[in-house]
Structure 1
Amino acid sequence: MELEDQWWKGQLAADIYQALRYKELKLPSYKGQSPQLNLRRYFADLIATVSNRFKLCPAARHLAVYLLDLFMDRYDVTVQQLHMVSLSCLLLASKFEDREDRVPKLETLNNLGCMSSMNLVLTKQGLLHMELLLLETFQWNLYLPTAAHFIEYYLSTATQEGDLHDGWPMTCLEKTKLYMAKYADYFLEVSLQDHVFLCFTPSLVAASCVAASRVILHLTPTWPPRLQRLTSYTWENLVHCAEKLLLRRTRRSSVPATRPP
């Protein structure tokens, strides 16, 4: 979204955050009506796998999955075509969100081990055609906030002196911050696994990732006043989404993604 690196630390952080909050209110509607919805987890995992292979930023990965969700919601295409759509969404998102030198190259993509299992060979013309179709579908607007765009802003004050751990003062704030970032990133990825999280605004999902992380870390109060002021969400606003994240944490490793036939 062409935001400067670590924008949440800059003088314009509050203004950028408010612009993102305003933009998320205008996101396209999602109905969850794709005939291939049962395969959605598989393709989200595919995007995550390729994204990790090229060390793309979380914003690119989350935007790619969101583009895929919106496309699947509007079009009934074959499973084979969805492989091409998924990778095209990732390429488009990486060009929009990440550094140019990290954008996957065609030859490198075709050399990935997973490509043979998909029985897919990408061509420059095919990718350009698909990217153009995607851009036209979204009216050339990829300025679409996701939970990944909010998480760092919330993490900046997610843990502070004065928070209690199991009712006692924290022994090491820096260590707690590291664990907080680790768990928040984990829950952020959990939110990609299920389209149910699309019924929440991205900022609420990000805030719920922080709240769920504080629950796991036994930090109290669970949702301190400073986070309520920063996010404009109360614990009552977050509890439904946070509970879904915590529930899926216990099920994520035991439920494999459905593979296409």
Structure 2
Amino acid sequence: MGRMRMEEQWWKGELAADIHQTLRMKELKLPVYKAHSPQIGMRRYFTDLLTVLSSRCNLCPTARHLAVYLLDLFMDHYDITVKQLHVISIACLLLASKFEEKEDRVPKLEQLNNLAYMCNVNVVLNKKDLLKMELLLLENFNWNLCLPTPAHYIDYYLFASVGEKDLHNGWPITSLTKVKAFMEKYAYYFLDFSVQDYAFLNFRPSLIAAACVCASRICMQISPSWTTQLQLLTCYSWEHLTQCIEMMLIYYENDVKEASKVKKQITLQQQVVGSVNHQTTTQVLFQQSSYHPLAQHSTALSQFQSPVQDLCSAYRDSLQAHRPSSLLSGSASTSLHSYSALQASLQPSVQTLPIQGPITMQVAIATEPRHCISMAYGSSYFSGHHTYTARCFDR
């Protein structure tokens, strides 16, 4: 699935409908997520960690979403310590990248260790431990990583997200290319929100992807909000999507309000600083230029509401000053913007990496049935009869 995505845009090919139907059939067999993990309060922190690591490794969205989903399923059945969760999270990212990406794009061990250290993750991985953790995960998932996520559907639905007969603010659309570009930004914005809250796991992945498109049409004021063509393509009516869309729009509204609030605070601070500078300056040497870098695009941009990423850029850049530097030291962040603080903490360091010995795991199966399983990495469970699917660290 991943290799086909990298080599060609399957959603534009002749087999797109067949591939979509196959994905829809596979999602019916997905495990039921029960949110039984004792560490569920740490989920947002590890989701943000995987998001930053995958972004730094330039992995595709399907790899990132699959990594988070693998972690969700594993945490839902096991009681694991925080230190062990760090290793498992990175192993999930590695497996997802091997499944979704080309071999030369799979992160290397040294790269993962450097990124983990920059994120203040007090874990040093070695080849032997990581490969054994991969085997533990593969055994847990019965060697089946073909698990559809919303990211696997989004491009297929976006390809038909806007039609020639659609209206923007009641007027015909003059440029489908520009509208689709904005639509993609909005859809991926909602897609990122869906992975941050485990409540979205109550919906099927295909429904979440369809809701991302519908919520984007609503925010861009494109009518009708849901077309017959999209209903036939996704097999979801407006009634099916209502609950999921409502959750997304609540996130969107809160994010916009927070962005506007912080943006006003920054503007006020700039005005205060400017007024002080004006009072202390005896002579004005330069006048402020009236040139704006986006002026040449203002006509096109004014037709639509700007994506929330643009609206939020000002306050997200200032989060580092308001967030504690210990965000990644082991405690979860429950705010909507911990991901931004996580990115801000990625500053190279000249300190030497701490050296640790092999990690021994104590794993207890969650709630039903919670048997205690004690496994050391050197045990016979990981004997030599296993063959590794991709020895990316041997190169």
What TM-score results when the alignment is normalised by the length of structure 1? 0.95
From 219, 223, 245, the counterpart of 1:220? 223
Residue 241 of structure 1: how far off its partner (Å): 0.3
Cα RMSD after superposing both structures: 1.7
Q: Does 1:168 align with 2:187?
A: no
Residue matched to 2:344 = none
From 122, 127, 134, the counterpart of 2:125? 122
Q: Does 1:24 align with 2:27?
A: yes
Residue matched to 1:148 = 151
Q: Does 1:134 align with 2:129?
A: no
2:76 partner amino acid: D
* Identity value in percent: 59
Runs of 4+ in 1 over 6 A off after TM superposition: none
Residue matched to 1:60 = 63
For the residue of structure 2 that corresponds to 1:237, the secondary structure is helix
**Partners in 1 of 2:209 and 2:134 — Cα distance?**
28
Farther-moved stretch of structure 1 (1-10 vs 140-149): 1-10
Q: Does 1:7 align with 2:10?
A: yes
**Partners in 1 of 2:139 and 2:85 — Cα distance?**
17
From 60, 72, 76, the counterpart of 1:73? 76
Q: CA, structure 1 residues 252+133, in 2 after alignment: closer, same or farther (shift >3 Å)?
A: farther
CA displacement 1:10-32 (0-9 Å, x = unmatched): 11111110000000000011100
**Partners in 1 of 2:116 and 2:138 — Cα distance?**
28
Q: CA, structure 1 residues 252+30, in 2 after alignment: closer, same or farther (shift >3 Å)?
A: farther
Residue 250 of structure 1: how far off its partner (Å): 3.3
For the residue of structure 2 that corresponds to 1:118, the secondary structure is coil
**Partners in 1 of 2:149 and 2:192 — Cα distance?**
12
Residue 246 of structure 1: how far off its partner (Å): 1.4
Residue 202 of structure 1: how far off its partner (Å): 0.3
From 243, 248, 261, the counterpart of 1:245? 248
2:177 partner amino acid: E
Query: Tell me, which stretches of 5 or more residues in structure 1 are unaligned?
Result: none
Aligned pair count?
260
User: 1:115, 1:121 within 8 Å by CA — same for their partners in 2?
Assistant: no
User: 1:163, 1:220 within 8 Å by CA — same for their partners in 2?
Assistant: yes
**Partners in 2 of 1:116 and 1:215 — Cα distance?**
37
CA displacement 1:44-76 (0-9 Å, x = unmatched): 111110001011011100000000000000000
Residue matched to 1:206 = 209
CA displacement 1:166-221 (0-9 Å, x = unmatched): 11111321110000011111111110100001000000000000001001100000
Query: Tell me, which stretches of 5 or more residues in structure 2 are unaligned?
Result: 259-318, 332-395
Q: Does 1:177 align with 2:180?
A: yes
Residue 113 of structure 1: how far off its partner (Å): 6.0
Structure of larger gyration radius = 2
**Partners in 1 of 2:204 and 2:78 — Cα distance?**
23
1:163 partner amino acid: D
For the residue of structure 2 that corresponds to 1:142, the secondary structure is coil
**Partners in 2 of 1:198 and 1:101 — Cα distance?**
31
Residue 162 of structure 1: how far off its partner (Å): 1.0
Residue 252 of structure 1: how far off its partner (Å): 5.1
Residue matched to 1:48 = 51
Residue matched to 1:90 = 93
What TM-score results when the alignment is normalised by the length of structure 2? 0.64
Residue 3 of structure 1: how far off its partner (Å): 5.5
Residue matched to 1:192 = 195
1:208 partner amino acid: A
Residue 248 of structure 1: how far off its partner (Å): 1.6
**Partners in 2 of 1:247 and 1:156 — Cα distance?**
26
**Partners in 2 of 1:116 and 1:122 — Cα distance?**
14
Residue 112 of structure 1: how far off its partner (Å): 1.8
For the residue of structure 2 that corresponds to 1:93, the secondary structure is helix
Residue 126 of structure 1: how far off its partner (Å): 1.1
Residue 249 of structure 1: how far off its partner (Å): 2.3
**Partners in 2 of 1:57 and 1:243 — Cα distance?**
27
**Partners in 2 of 1:83 and 1:245 — Cα distance?**
29
